[in-house]
Amino acid sequence: MAAQTLLELVLQNWPAVLGVATVAYLLSNRFNHGLNKYPGPFLASLTDWWRFWVVYGRRPELEHIRLHEKHGDVVRLGPNSLSFSDPKALKTIYGLNKGFTKSEFYPVQQAVASGHRLPSLFSTTSEAFHAQLRRSVNSAFSMSTLIQYEPFVDSTTELFLSQTEKLYAKTGEACNFSRWLQFYAFDVIGEMTYSKRHGFLEENRDIDGIIDYVANLFDYAGPIGQIPFLDVLILKNPIWLLLGKYGFVDGTFPVAKFARARMLERYPTSSDPKTATILPSTEPSAESKKPDLLSKFVQAKNDRPDFMNDSLVMTMAISMAFAGSETTAISLSSVFYYLLKNPRCMEEVYRELDSKAREGFFGDYENGLVTWTESQSLPYLDACIKEAFRVHPAPGLTLERIVPPQGADIAGHFVKGGTIVGCSAWVLHRRKEIFGEDVEVYRPERWLPEPGKDKEAEEKRVKEMAGTMLHFGQGARTCIGKNISLLEIYKVVPSVLRRFEVRLQDPTKEWTVHNAWFVRQLNFNTTFHRRKLVKPSS
């Protein structure tokens, strides 16, 4: 009876009830976990829609830098979310065995194949699952294994150089360089994973729209990841997934289709009737002898059949394209762009390469290809690459983690369990006490010990800078593909510069920065001019 009276009262006064409920909801957000003591935009303390709009605006890194400059080391970015800029926070938030887990931002990036979500090394929020998977595949990414992948990088780099010559140097046509580097990075990963390129460079186009698809997915994941619940209403809608599962709609990501096709080529039959329509099997005796990543993932399955299965093999293969292509292309664009915008540095790189060439240091005087080992003896180039990573890191949002249930002390602040915390590479890389007063300037020399100064102190300074870099993340969830991407970058940059003089099409123009979670660049157009390869002086 009382309940009915209450219901009638609510229905009769629903506008007032709605108003009170909304205010109560906003107030509970504002005082959530005691985070109201931290500064930040007022709206951010009331609703996650604030950060949604900031990310949707595509330059959230600028807002994060501005807010930390204004408010200091801790900024509230949402009702339950804090951003830290004190380097001391890194060890706690990302350190091994600290109990922090990835936030719900990450599963929004999960790939879908035939209506099935594919939790991956990158996107999983389960630390137990992550630890098992990382242990299973870790050896495929070690420094010592790297050397096995060099021939894959060589073959795609040779193609990249010859296509650049044919399409741009010979014709004098302007090149959409950031796009061209995407083609390169996706083709290298295709070759490294399946011993087969997607064919972007050969055809000079986005085959099956894969690159645009990945770009769109990041465009989606950035803002939607700020309110992850929205993903369940949109891309991971259970009805849509169900329709995909039974084949009524094809919600399979194009990268997943490419992965499936490659796996079917190599392992044509399936042993598991339950998954045969979803996943190709890696069971048959047609074990690959190629030392590519797919063969390593299949090996991991053979070594750890209790954990690894066909689904995880395929997920790992797909992850390579998702996590490893766009990020590498962005980093390559940055390296070239900042060299082009700083002719003094570019000249110094040319000087380093040419003097090494005259010494007879390189093995290849035909195509200009540089080996990984050779690239490790080019200190100025190394400094230029690191500085590009600092000035324009690929990840453009805070790398979110959830504080463990017991709470944690983060850089002198006790934060309650369940709070989302994180650091942004764009903010951290601009800490003046670590990187110097001129953090806004591209100055590769900061990565080199200053002549005339105490050697030990200089080494310590450079080490501290390296330890504050978040380009590849840090700690337990640090980038597993870091060595692979460095292999690509340290080989292709000097190889291009030995062979071509690269110029900005319009040196007066800036590129356009688009932060879709990974911060890609648009309107970066160049021309290429063939250089005569410098030969050994003898």
User: Can you say which residues are annotated as belonging to the binding site for heme?
Assistant: 479
Find the binding residues for ligand HEM in span 102-121 (CB under 6 A). 121
CB distance 465 to 447 below 8 Å: yes
Give the shortest CB-482-to-ligand HEM separation in angstroms.
6
DSSP structure string for 406-423: T-EEETTEEE-TT-EEE-
Residue number of the CB closest to ligand HEM reads 481
Give yes or no for residue 340 binding ligand HEM (CB under 6 A).
no
CB distance 311 to 275 below 8 Å: yes
- The contacts of residue 270 (CB under 8 Å, 6+ apart) are 276, 279, 280, 281, 283
Give the shortest CB-205-to-ligand HEM separation in angstroms.
22
Give the shortest CB-121-to-ligand HEM separation in angstroms.
4
Please identify, using beta-carbon distances, which residue of 85 and 327 lies nearer to ligand HEM: 327
Give the shortest CB-271-to-ligand HEM separation in angstroms.
27
E runs forming strands in 439-511: 500-504
Helix (H) or strand (E) holding 466: helix 455-468
Find the binding residues for ligand HEM in span 121-150 (CB under 6 A). 121-122, 134
- The contacts of residue 439 (CB under 8 Å, 6+ apart) are 429, 430, 431, 432
In 342-451, alpha helices (H): 343-358, 372-375, 379-391, 425-428, 432-435
Spatial distance between the Cα atoms of 201 and 181, rounded to a whole number of angstroms: 9
Give yes or no for residue 471 binding ligand HEM (CB under 6 A).
yes
Look at the alpha carbons of 301, 307, 310, 316 in this order and tell me if their dihedral is positive or negative.
negative
Spatial distance between the Cα atoms of 116 and 278, rounded to a whole number of angstroms: 8
Q: How far is CA 400 from CA 23, 47, 236, in A?
A: 28, 17, 21
Give yes or no for residue 225 binding ligand HEM (CB under 6 A).
no
Please identify, using beta-carbon distances, which residue of 389 and 500 lies nearer to ligand HEM: 389
Give yes or no for residue 323 binding ligand HEM (CB under 6 A).
yes
What are the binding residues? 479
Give yes or no for residue 369 binding ligand HEM (CB under 6 A).
no
CB distance 205 to 337 below 8 Å: no
Stretch that binds ligand HEM, among 28-36, 322-330, 380-388, 494-502 (CB under 6 A): 322-330
Give yes or no for residue 324 binding ligand HEM (CB under 6 A).
yes
Give the shortest CB-136-to-ligand HEM separation in angstroms.
11
Find the binding residues for ligand HEM in span 480-519 (CB under 6 A). 480-481, 484-485
Give yes or no for residue 291 binding ligand HEM (CB under 6 A).
no
Stretch that binds ligand HEM, among 20-28, 110-118, 255-263, 477-485 (CB under 6 A): 477-485
Q: For ligand HEM, which residue of 327, 375, 419, 424 counts as binding (CB under 6 A)?
A: 327
Helix (H) or strand (E) holding 513: strand 512-515
Look at the alpha carbons of 33, 36, 37, 38 in this order and tell me if their dihedral is positive or negative.
positive
Q: For ligand HEM, which residue of 29, 136, 328, 334 counts as binding (CB under 6 A)?
A: 328
* Interior angle at CA 476, CA 474 and CA 478, nearest 5: 40
Find the binding residues for ligand HEM in span 383-422 (CB under 6 A). 394-395, 399
Give yes or no for residue 259 binding ligand HEM (CB under 6 A).
no
Per the structure block, which two tokens stand in for 211? 């690159």
- Tell me the site size for ligand HEM, rule CB under 6 A: 22
Could you tell me whether strands 401-402 and 500-504 are parallel, antiparallel, or unpaired per DSSP bridges? unpaired
Please identify, using beta-carbon distances, which residue of 67 and 394 lies nearer to ligand HEM: 394
Give the shortest CB-133-to-ligand HEM separation in angstroms.
8
Could you tell me whether strands 420-422 and 81-84 are parallel, antiparallel, or unpaired per DSSP bridges? parallel
Stretch that binds ligand HEM, among 160-168, 345-353, 441-449, 473-481 (CB under 6 A): 473-481
Q: For ligand HEM, which residue of 201, 215, 221, 479 counts as binding (CB under 6 A)?
A: 479
Give yes or no for residue 319 binding ligand HEM (CB under 6 A).
yes
Identify the three-state secondary structure at position 376.
Answer: coil
Give yes or no for residue 78 binding ligand HEM (CB under 6 A).
no
Helix (H) or strand (E) holding 521: strand 519-522
Give yes or no for residue 260 binding ligand HEM (CB under 6 A).
no
Which stretches of the chain bind ligand HEM, using CB under 6 A? 121-122, 134, 319-320, 323-324, 327-328, 331, 394-395, 399, 471-473, 477, 479-481, 484-485
